[in-house]
Structure 1
Amino acid sequence: MRLHQWSKNVLVALPALLAHNLSPEVAGEVAIAFLALGLVASGTYVVNDLLDQEQDARHPTKRHRPFASGALTPGFGWAFGPALVGLGFALAWALLPLAFVGALGVYLATTLAYSFKLKSVVIVDVCVLAALYALRVLAGGAATGIPVSEWLLAFSLFFFLGLALLKRYAELRILEIEVDARDNGRGYTIEDAAMLRAIGPAAGFMAVLVFALYVTSPDVAVLYARPGLLWLAAPLLAYWTMRMWMLAHRGDLPDEPVAYALRDRASYAVAALTAGVLLLASIPV
């Protein structure tokens, strides 16, 4: 089920958090959306691992996954995956607005298209991964009825495009060091590493630029009493982006950056400092 991947579903809370709407009702809707999306995502991860089990078995780290290692049978997976998806949709249908169910349907269709075909199409794959992150944010807005701002959507697309490119680059670096990178099942070869290394950080810094433009916009004064303090978050985001790419370039970053960030002290420090900046900017003098 890749429970560590559920951390990505925290994105459903972003619209409520950034709108400063944390009422008990909204918090309940966010919690249900988090659970429903987690169940559907876990079901699609099962399907993806079933489709990738032969390639994963030859991968230096992915070979330990349940289906690639033989710990679980394909028959179990083909029953368990759809069951998780069905449970997630049942929960959403019963307790959340129809708009969220629709967003969940788009997420499922996009994820399955990625698993069956798009993950092997160069560049399209990372665009789809970025879109899936943004869909989580949109789903959070649909669950709570809170509109997702254009600023948040633009920031999400650039930030998560950079993260998707980082994931692919990290995979290539590990494969370059340990095995033949020409059989990675993703359409990329070692020759593509330089290009990924160029456009990936650029996407990350575009996200920082979007954030900086937001800080200078009239919209920010509606939500923050001291918007000038938000500038302190920009170098934190830039630092995190540069550090992650440096680790990947050295071959020290696993091929799943999110999983690495969850056990990385520096990432926690950046997250805590950024949250502190947002909080201080919200408090009147």
Structure 2
Amino acid sequence: MSAAFDFSASASALPDLYVDLDGSLIATDLLDESMLRLVRDSPMSLLSLPAWLLQGKAVLKDQVASRVEVDVSTLPYRPEVLSYVREARAQGRRVVLATASDQRLADRVAKHLGVFDAVLASDGKRNLGGSKKLEAIREDAAGRDFAYLGDRHVDLQVWDGAQAAVVVSRSDALARQAAKKTALEAHIRPPATAPRRYLYAMRLHQWLKNLLVFVPLMPVLHALTLPVLVNACIAFFAFGLMASGIYILNDLLDLESDRKHKRKRFRPFAAGEISARTGLLMCAGLCLASLTISLVFMPPIFLAVLLVYLALTTGYSFFLKRRAIVDVFSLAALYTIRLAAGAAATGLPLSLWILSFSLFIFVSLALAKRYVELSGTPTEVKQMSRDRNYHPTDVQLVLAGGVAAGQMATVVLSLYLQDPQIVARYAHPMYLWAMVPLILFWIMRIWLKAVRGALHDDPVVFAARDWVSRLAVAISAVVLWAAG
């Protein structure tokens, strides 16, 4: 942080400090987050947003704020800005929160922090942005000198009438422009968001789940052709882009609950490293790229399967994940759709045995994830009850159902290996039986880890990092090749 202001002066000589909220004090925008929360809780409200906006931004903010409850204690406050504000307060300066956010939300923030002497905000009639904010500040200051803390170009209108500027931005150009308007009291540089955080937001590690599109190729490994392999690879890439877009949407809809989670609070959107608006653009871009690739390079049936996946996963983000048990079957269906996508992309048949096996094993893994969440801290379990409609007493049911589903998957695999049509496809079908105890062992080990509290991630992600799971996959691949 650089500074160019005389703090040796007496407190009475120092100007009042007016502090912007969105993007300055917090690394997010309250209107964006409030609208996401509103749309998540009431998707039909999307139809009302244009009508509210036509009446003015102040009305839009008022209508949205009146319909949502935002837990301001979880917001990503900028520690360097908060320290600056507290230091100003300790010096005896009058500190005022001046924001274009709605008055209700601004009041909650001020009450939570306890460092502001007054609050200026939009009130449903006047949107306190740009020149309107300057008018409100001048009226509140009543002739006293004031400094203004802001973060964007629209704040230049306020700095034009201020006696000092505090710039919260990594942009030197903005700081220079502010310095041309008034004295530069300080330049606070928030940490930069590393490119890898954008990649993390896309959940590239979750692309492992899309390897399921290659499963239909397993029975024909010895007769695999290049066009079939290329189509499977394109399907993998298209599904990866679509899944990344939906993961981003899911994160944006779960901002508040993620911030209350001991690990999820470090995700880029929850931590305020990437804005909600940027996230929505990323989501739209990734989904559009996926659909374009599918439309240009893949058979129409694959595009149809991808659209079904998009519809189901969007429904999961908005509705289905808040329905106990329904959420688990939805997740299992999303995995199974990947198998269908692989078959659609390659033109290879997909056995009902494989679909049945997929249903049981992925129901088991989805229940394992819920079991871990229900075994968390009391705060996490309470949040689970609120967001997923699971209750602490459900933990035994989830455990029993998950273990049983995993065992059923093994039974289905055993029956599959006895099907005469399946046996006829392999030169040495007896080798395939080695997979039955191997998969049963792996499923039971996953549940053992869950019960012992050693499973902290999505089971699929855990498997990707676990050497025993990787060894099991390698052995299965060798068995399939040998049976060929």
**1:162-219 alpha-carbon deviations (Å, 9 max, x no partner):** 111111111222345xx34021221112211111100101111111001100111102
Equivalents in 1 of 2:482, 2:377: separation in Å?
Answer: 43
Specify the code of the residue in structure 2 equivalent to 1:84: L
**Does residue 3 in structure 1 map to residue 200 in structure 2?**
no
**Does residue 15 in structure 1 map to residue 216 in structure 2?**
yes
1:182 corresponds to which of 368, 374, 382: 382
1:169 corresponds to which of 354, 368, 371: 371
Specify the code of the residue in structure 1 equivalent to 2:381: A
Greater per-residue strand proportion: 2
Paired residue for 1:40? 242
Alignment of 1:56-75 (within 5 A): 56-75=258-277
Aligned-pair identity (%): 45
**1:255-279 alpha-carbon deviations (Å, 9 max, x no partner):** 3111111110110111111112222
Q: How much has 1:18 moved relative to structure 2? A: 2.7
**Does residue 228 in structure 1 map to residue 228 in structure 2?**
no
Equivalents in 1 of 2:380, 2:465: separation in Å?
Answer: 28
Equivalents in 1 of 2:327, 2:422: separation in Å?
Answer: 33
CA contact (8 A) 2:431 2:483 kept: yes
CA contact (8 A) 2:218 2:480 kept: no
Q: How much has 1:126 moved relative to structure 2? A: 0.2
- Report how many residues are paired: 280
Paired residue for 1:200? 402
Alignment of 1:125-144 (within 5 A): 125-144=327-346
Alignment of 1:199-218 (within 5 A): 199-218=401-420
TM-score by length of 1: 0.96
Moved over 6 A (4+): none
Specify the code of the residue in structure 2 equivalent to 1:97: P
SS in 1 for 2:376: helix
CA contact (8 A) 1:174 1:254 kept: no
1:113 corresponds to which of 315, 329, 337: 315
Q: How much has 1:28 moved relative to structure 2? A: 0.4
Alignment of 1:80-99 (within 5 A): 80-99=282-301
Equivalents in 2 of 1:51, 1:19: separation in Å?
Answer: 41
Q: How much has 1:111 moved relative to structure 2? A: 0.2
Greater per-residue helix proportion: 1
TM-score by length of 2: 0.57
CA contact (8 A) 1:129 1:161 kept: yes
CA contact (8 A) 1:26 1:144 kept: yes
Equivalents in 2 of 1:239, 1:174: separation in Å?
Answer: 25
Unmatched segments (≥5 aa) in structure 1: none
**1:18-74 alpha-carbon deviations (Å, 9 max, x no partner):** 333521000100111011110011000010000001000000111111111111111
Higher mean alpha-carbon deviation, 1-10 vs 189-198, is at 189-198
- Give the superposed CA RMSD: 1.1
Equivalents in 1 of 2:374, 2:272: separation in Å?
Answer: 25
Equivalents in 1 of 2:331, 2:318: separation in Å?
Answer: 14
Specify the code of the residue in structure 1 equivalent to 2:429: P
SS in 1 for 2:250: helix
